[in-house]
Amino acid sequence: MTQAIHHVLLNEKLQECFSILDAIQKTYRTYSAEYIALVMAHPQTMDNFYNIFEADLLSNYKIYREDRRAEIEALLKDETEKKQ
């Protein structure tokens, strides 16, 4: 560092940072309120969305819903027989 930061300049930068954080907080609170209102207005749509999302995500780890047990067992059995 060739020059020390003056306290007044430092306080100005600190205030600028707090203003940015306040804007972020306000935006998040607005988004959160709108999202909650959307979910409350359309609960079945959101449940369906998250069920599909969860199933897709878990299928990447070969974790499936219980109602697909027979289908998955048949696929794994066929895969095993092909490898033998």
Q: Which pLDDT tens digit goes with each residue over 15-69?
A: 999 999 999 999 999 999 999 999 899 999 989 999 999 989 998 888 888 888 8
H/E segment holding residue 20: helix 7-41
Query: Closest by alpha carbon to 49, among 28, 57, 27?
Result: 57
Report the chain's mean pLDDT, rounded to a whole number: 89
Q: What is the pLDDT of residue 27?
A: 97
The pair phi, psi for residue 50, each rounded to 5°, is -70, -30
Three-class SS state of 55: helix
Any long-range contacts for 49-57 (C-beta under 8 Å, 24+ apart)? Answer: none
Q: Token digits for 14?
A: 């600190």
| For residue 6, pLDDT beyond 80 | no
Q: What is the pLDDT of residue 4?
A: 63
Q: Token digits for 69?
A: 């047990």
Q: What is the pLDDT of residue 9?
A: 85
